[in-house]
Amino acid sequence: MEEVLIFATTLGAIIAALVQLVKKTVNVPNNLIPIIAFVIGLAVGAVAYPFTDLDLVHRLWSGGIAGLAATGLYEAVIAKRSGTSK
């Protein structure tokens, strides 16, 4: 499991950049961004076989985790929000 988390950490920045590319290229609703990030994460994890010796299931887990983490990272650090939660 440690390798999955290390690989997910590595993929996080790549997936965040790809999600930003999709957002700037295609007009998508904001509520679909996490799903898009998850799917991009799965795709990047699946095609990353030359860079790791993890099997497909572990690469998919890493990609999915990285996709969701990239969305959370963007929302926490980059997105400017105004107002309160209530």
- Among 42, 36, 39, 34, CA closest to 61: 42
At 54, which amino acid appears? Answer: L
Q: Rounded to two decimals, what is the model's pTM?
A: 0.80
Listed residue (76, 64, 52, 48) closest to 3, CA to CA: 52
How far is 76 from 17, CA to CA, in rounded Å? 15
pLDDT (tens, 9 = 90+) of the chain, 86 residues, equals 788 888 888 898 899 899 889 988 998 887 788 889 999 999 999 998 888 888 999 999 999 999 988 887 666 666 655 544 34
Domain boundaries, the chain: 2-78
| DSSP run (H or E) holding 21 | helix 2-25
Contact 2, 61 (CB under 8 A): no
